[in-house]
Structure formats: structure tokens, C-alpha cells
Structure 1
Amino acid sequence: MLYNVCMVCDFFYPNMGGVESHLFLLAQRLIQSGHKVIIITHSYGNRKGVRYMTNGLKVYYVPTLVIYSEATLPTLYGCFPLFRNIFIRESIDIVHGHGAFSALCQEAILHGKTMGLKVCFTDHSLFGFADASSILTNKLLKFTLSDVDHVICVSHTSKENTVLRAALSPRNVSVIPNAVVASQFLPDPSAADPKWITIVVISRLVYRKGVDLLVAVIPRICAMHKNVRFIIGGDGPKRIDLEQMREKHLLQDRVELLGPVKHHQVRNILIQGNIFLNTSLTEAFCIAIVEAACAGLFVVSTKVGGVPEVLPNHMINYATPEEDDLIIAISKALHMTRFKKVDPSKFNDELKDMYSWSNVAERTEKIYDLICQTQVSPLIERFRRYYGCGLYAGKIFCMVMALDYLFWIFLEFMFPRDSIELATTFPYERYRQQMDQQRRSPSPRMSNGKQDFYGDGGGDGDGDIDKGVV
């Protein structure tokens, strides 16, 4: 069957990261399979309203308040009228939320369920159980997921974590890993500087990504190996620590800080290197190491979260998230690189079959088929599920859900469905024909060096067809 799917997340282009790429590329593949897909996210600067991206992907950039690291302020009921309008206008069948940190995602799942739509959730993160932030997030996630139709995790480690955090039945949780467009990360050995062994780091420069470890490791590696240099791409609050380290140890000629990197630039940076370094303290999957291996780099990574599930052992060296162990793992990788004990030229061929977005889309479609076969839960069953979330929290959750239901009845009375104009379906087939024609006869826009055709996810990371607000 074909479905009208609404994906909701705070994190999307032009912000860069694994979740953002996951939403975009999954949406592209689902559209190619014949489904209608739209995305709801918050506005980014001047990017507001409705935008059309590659292959007719429609994105609603809604005006909400961002409080921290692109996460929006939870409003509970504030966005319900807007969500309802979009769901009805686009004739949505399935609401697919992404990211436990996304307030828009949590609210869309609650409101979608109240409206009788099918809802599912994809978890991209790992959380602990002891600190205040994790306890609060886990309680809110338990509230949201207690009434969700199905949950998707990107690794088996992530599944175990989510099942424990949200007190879910493992039968209601599936594992569908991330993927990579291997053709966008073809190796090019001639791009690397033969005078140096280059270690590449591309990451958000935040605490969770282990930047403090990176700051400690770089001076020691540079002192031990005179022909090693670092290229670091990405931005974040920890960038100042890297700049101070570089100044303190006089490593300006051996540590290059590139700043923010768009997705279409990643491959050009990766092929300059020999080794990719990931120092994350927690990861549910880590798509960055897959992209690096596809580009022909040997990977050194901390052995955390779902990372051990991602790459075959001959492509990666593991280390515990400790300075000394990371130094040993990097030194072993440098030795292997010097004496050519690895053959990275074959990495791309191996990984393109292991991680395919077509496979991810097919498995996601099976989840959609599964949840659409289930019956809509009666109101009393929803109350029972929320009541079981805790002695005090359960009662609060029941009141929240009851108010949400009453608010929906009010909106249905004040703004009848008949008064909402249905959106015109994007002419996907005609667009594909035009893009096929442009590929056969490249226009100036298509020959700018960026892959911007529908078959490979396309775009420059911003991905707009029409840069204006529709």
C-alpha cells in the first residue's frame, strides 16, 4: 500500500548531522517508492514557511522557539492547531517522529494519536539512567511511547536502551540501521598528501562527541609521530578548546580547523585523509564512520554504544574512551597505514551492499504496513496505558491526554475539516521525468560539481529547489 507520511523532528537541514541526513534520505527513498512524504521541523533563521526540496519533498518550517542546540521549547498544546491543519491539509495517514530530544516530535505523536492517526517513532540516541536530564527525558519518553504503534531503533544496543528507558515490550520495537549513499563517497587515493599521514575528524564539537578526549590526544600523537597531521571539520561550543590547544602546542601547521561543513563537502574532506578518528562518548549508530570507510579511510573509534555493530573488524580499531587507550589504537592504525597492511580501496564495494537506503526504506514500509493493520485504540485503552506510567506521573499523563482530547473536539467544532483546503499533490512523476532529462542533458545548475539528482538523495545539504517561501 501507499501512504501519506509526515515525519516530524526538530533537527533537519540546514542543520547538519546524522538525524538530519537520515530524515532526508529516507524520505527520498519512500517518495521514489510512490509514497507521499512531508517533513515538519522548526524554522531556521530566514528559512520559514513551506519549502520544496529535491524530488518534491515538502518541508514545513514552523515558527517555534528554539531553546538549546536546535531543540524547541515544549508547548504541549501550542502547536496542536498547526499540526491538525497540516495533517488534514496533507491527508496524512502516518505520523513518524524522530529523536527523543525533539519536542515537536513528542507533541506530534501525542496529537496524531488523538486524531486517530497511526504513529511510530525512531530513536537515534542513547541515554543513561542516573543524571537529572536523562531521568526527565526518559519519563517524557515513557509517556510518549506508551501509546505509540511501533518503535524503530538504529542498532540493537539502542533497542535495549530504549526498551529499558521507556518500559516497552521488545516485540513492539524493531531495529533498522542507518545507511549511506556509497556512490557519494567514492575513494580517491590521489587526493591525499603523500608527505603526511592525515587523520580526519568530522563531528559536532560538543562534549558528547568526546572533544575533550580529542584535545588531549592530538598533542601526544603529534609529538610521537612527526609526519601526522589532523583535519577537523565541524562546529560547536568545544571549538574554542581545540583552538586553545593548537595555540598552546604550536600546532597551527599540523591541525587544520575547517569550521562548519555541509554534507556535500564531506567527501572532499574525507578523501584527503588516511585515518578517520571518532572519539564519541556515546553513539547509537554513528553514520560518520560508515561514510569515512566508504571513502577509503581506516577508522579508529571509541567502543561505545552501537559502534561495534557498524563496521567489520578489518575496517576499524576500537579503543575505550580513555586517553591512553586511544593513543595505542591510533598508533596501531598509523603503523598499519605506513606499511599498507590494509586495503581501503575495497571498503566502498563492501559497504554499499551492507548499508543501502533502499533496504532501509523497504523495512520501514513493512513497519508502516504492520501498524496500519492494527485497530485504533479506544479512548479507555489509551487512559489505561497512560495510567500505568507511574503512581503520580500516570495520573498527570491521563489529565494531559484528556485535555488534549477535549482540545481536539474544540478544534473540530471551531474549525471544521471542510473549511481546510486540501493541498495539491506534488507531480512526482513529471518531476522525475524532468530530472531524468536534465541528467541526460546537464544544465549549468546540474554541472556545478554537486550531486543534485533524485536517485542519490541529492542536494548540497540545504537541498531547496525553490529558495523562496512558497
Structure 2
Amino acid sequence: MREAQELKILISTTIFPNRADITRCVFEKKLADEMQDQCQLNVTVPVPYVPPFLAPEGYSAYRSLPKKDSLGGLEISHPRYFVMPKFFRSLHAFFWFGSLFPHYRKIFKTNKPDAILGIWAYPDGLTNLLLAKTHSIPIVIACRGSDINRLIKLPIHRKLIAWTLKRANYILSVSEALKTEIVKLGVPAENVIVIPNGVETEKFKPISQALARKQLNLNTSEKMIVTVSRLSYEKGVDVLINAIAKLSDHSVTLALVGDGAERATLEALVKTLGVEDRVKFYGSIPNHEIPLWLNAADVFALGSRTEGWPNVLMEALSCGTPIVSTNVGGIPEIINSPELGILVPPENPSEMAKSLQTALDRTWDPQQLRDRVSNRSWHNVAEETCQLL
């Protein structure tokens, strides 16, 4: 392998922050920031082009993105690829490949990378595989969770993802649990390398709960459970709401930090259960406020139905906050001791309620929680990734 600083890597993915959606998959930027200190990095983040008369709500923001940009010192290119929203989803990889072949060919002619790191199994993985194979470049595809747990439920996507992953040089998985699912697709186990995500311990660190709540204008005396999550079905926020309704202590509140397609449905559930005074929706927040919310919590909760490696659990532990979570995906690999939190089966509000009450009543050791993740930095993740590439 070349010396790390001589290694030329192309990161190619659509799941990356941009000026229109600065909080999108921020952990991918954290990885790229560290990788650029260890290798020569080119970051290409394609964005969809949809004719204005066909574009549904949300797509117009992409038109404002510059073709070349810089986010926090990281240079990024945003080439456009044609898509038809809500139609031909199984062909998106081929739309991308056809639209952007000239763009990537230009990159390969002027500064051919030693390897491509394609993040997300589909459509990103398939497109990057086709680009790599047509230009004789090694390809590593990083799988993150939903790209396997959710997408393979669709028969055509399952076939395309399996075909792609079996032809890549290596597959990166964030957890042993996700690796098991990838191997089930027919990928040789020796080709699937587990590299868990990291955490910024200098950013996510314990501070006074009273101070955190004061900065967020929250009640300083009530017991509060916090979840920081996308409001989508797979995140199981409805399970947490149902659990709160089952708690006998009606003074405990649940703070829902995040937004998503399920918000209206969840608000209706809160009203149906009559817990409007105990469940609060705070919507999307700037990333720099997340440590405050994690420190403001008495307990952090996650009700996910599926997961890869939820970074927010690492961040909560780094803040010294105990966790109650479902035992799905890579979560038991993070919460690998009863001294760190309580694991419950998915889809079980009653058990979730009991565990939340137990966690609220128990005394936890914040330093022991923080120690669990103190040696897992994004620098470590970047170093392991570069070594593989």
C-alpha cells in the first residue's frame, strides 16, 4: 500500500451535507475531514436535477447549490444527474451513471484515484461500481444501515444491491449485525470489514444539566427523557410516545428533537393518547445544540425498529447520559454492558416504559458512560478506512 499521504481517494456519495441541507448525514463529513489529513481526497456529492415543471417540493433547493463548494475547509463538487421523482427508482443508479459519466471521466483523466469510496449501497454503490469497473479502479462500498435494512425489502433493490456488493473489492459495515445482513446477500464474509463510527469527545462532553437546560430555556426541575431522531417509521418514535403514556409518573416529559415525514402522524398520536403536556416537539435544531440536549436529559431514549450504528448513542454516552434503547442492529455492540444503559425488545411500549422508569430511578456513573467511547474518535475511523483503501 502507498504511504497514506500519497494515497488518492475519491469519495462519491449523495448522502453528505450541503448548503441546502447542512445537517444531512453530518458524520460522513466528519469522516472526510479526518481523511483529508491522511490522504489526497476528492469529494464528489452529486445532486439530482429535475426539470422545474416536474420537481416536487424540496427539489428546488438543489438548484441553488454551486457546482463547486467548500464546507468547513473541505472542497466539494456537486455535479447534476437527471432523475424522475417517484418514478423508475430502480433506475436511478443508471440515470446517475449516464448523466455523470463525462464528469467522472474528466476526474479520472486529470487525477485518477487509487480507489473509490462509494458511500451507501444504492443507488450510490451501483453507480460507483460501474464507474470503477469501467476505469479499472478499486472500489470500496460503505454500507450504513438503512441502505441494507430497509432497501433490501424491495425485491428489485435487493437484487441490485446484492449484485453490486458481490462485485466490489471490499464492503465496509458499521457493525457486526449489519455485516451479518450483508453476508446473507451472498457477499463473502472476508470481504466485509467492520469499521464502527466515531464520536467527537471534545464536542460531546458532560456539562451541568442545569446549565444545559438554562441555555435551552427548559424547566430545570422536571424529569426529562430526550430523543434526537429523524421522525420516521423505522426510528420507532411512536413506541416512545406510547411508553410515556404508560408511565405512572405523569411529571416525566419526553422531548422529541428532530423532524421528518411522520411528524403529523406522531402529533395526532400524542393528541389521541392525551399526553400533549408530556410530549414536546422541538423540530430540527442546529448541530451545535445537540450536546446541550444530550446533557439536558436525565435519560436518552431510542425506539428504533432497525439500525446500523446510531451515532447519537455514542454522543449521548460521551456526554455521560444513560440510555434506554431497543436492542436492534448494532445497538447491543454500543450498549455492551448494563452499566451503560438498558436494552429492550423493539415494538414493546410496555417494556420500554418499565425500562425508562428504572433508568430514571437509578444512579449512573457519567465517567463510566464516557469511558465507553473515549477511545473511538473520527481520526481512528479515518485511519482504519485509509489503511483498507
Q: TM-score range by the shorter chain?
A: 0.7 to 0.9
Q: Are 1:320 and 2:345 counterparts?
A: yes
- Give me the CA root mean square deviation: 2.4
Q: Are 1:184 and 2:189 counterparts?
A: no
Higher relative contact order, chain-length normalized (CA < 8 Å, sep 6+): 1
Question: Structure 1 counterpart of 2:230, which letter?
Answer: R
1:290 Cα shift?
A: 0.9
Question: Structure 1 counterpart of 2:172, which letter?
Answer: I
Q: Is the 8 A contact 1:178 1:285 kept in 2?
A: yes
Q: Is the 8 A contact 1:206 1:236 kept in 2?
A: yes
Whole-Å Cα distance in 2 between the matches of residues 111 and 29 of structure 1?
25
Misfit runs of 4+, over 6 Å: none
Number of positions where the alignment pairs a residue of Structure 1 with one of Structure 2: 355
Partner of 2:157: 137
1:171 Cα shift?
A: 1.3
SS in 2 for 1:73: helix
Please identify the structure whose Cα radius of gyration is greater. Answer: 1
- Closer/same/farther in 2, CA of residues 34 and 92 from structure 1, 3 Å limit: closer
Whole-Å Cα distance in 2 between the matches of residues 278 and 209 of structure 1?
7
After superposition, the C-alpha distances for 1:308-360 in whole angstroms (9 at most, x for unaligned) are 00134211100001122111211211211xxxx2122443344221x211211
Q: Are 1:219 and 2:239 counterparts?
A: no
1:224-373 → structure 2 map (5 Å cutoff): 224-313=248-337, 314-321=339-346, 322-336=348-362, 341-353=363-375, 355-368=376-389
Q: Is the 8 A contact 2:152 2:161 kept in 1?
A: no
1:23-422 → structure 2 map (5 Å cutoff): 23-42=28-47, 44-45=61-62, 46-65=64-83, 67=85, 73-74=92-93, 75=95, 76-101=97-122, 103-125=123-145, 127=148, 133-165=153-185, 167-189=186-208, 190=210, 191-192=212-213, 193-221=219-247, 224-313=248-337, 314-321=339-346, 322-336=348-362, 341-353=363-375, 355-368=376-389
After superposition, the C-alpha distances for 1:76-127 in whole angstroms (9 at most, x for unaligned) are 53332222223334432211111123x2332122112211111101111264
Partner of 2:52: none
Question: Structure 1 counterpart of 2:366, which letter?
Answer: P
Identity between Structure 1 and Structure 2 (%):
24
Q: Is the 8 A contact 2:126 2:164 kept in 1?
A: yes
Whole-Å Cα distance in 1 between the matches of residues 288 and 77 of structure 2?
20
Whole-Å Cα distance in 1 between the matches of residues 354 and 226 of structure 2?
17
Whole-Å Cα distance in 1 between the matches of residues 378 and 108 of structure 2?
26
Partner of 1:394: none
Question: Structure 2 counterpart of 1:54, which letter?
Answer: G
Q: Is the 8 A contact 2:82 2:99 kept in 1?
A: no
Question: Structure 2 counterpart of 1:217, which letter?
Answer: A
**Higher alpha-carbon deviation: 50-59 or 194-203:** 50-59
Q: Is the 8 A contact 1:48 1:62 kept in 2?
A: no
More helix as a share of residues = 1
Whole-Å Cα distance in 1 between the matches of residues 202 and 9 of structure 2?
27
Partner of 2:14: 10
SS in 2 for 1:181: coil
SS in 2 for 1:168: coil
- Closer/same/farther in 2, CA of residues 276 and 67 from structure 1, 3 Å limit: farther
Unaligned runs of 5+ in 2: 49-60, 214-218
After superposition, the C-alpha distances for 1:357-411 in whole angstroms (9 at most, x for unaligned) are 121112112211xxxxxxxxxxxxxxxxxxxxxxxxxxxxxxxxxxxxxxxxxxx
Q: TM-score, normalised by structure 2?
A: 0.84
SS in 2 for 1:51: strand
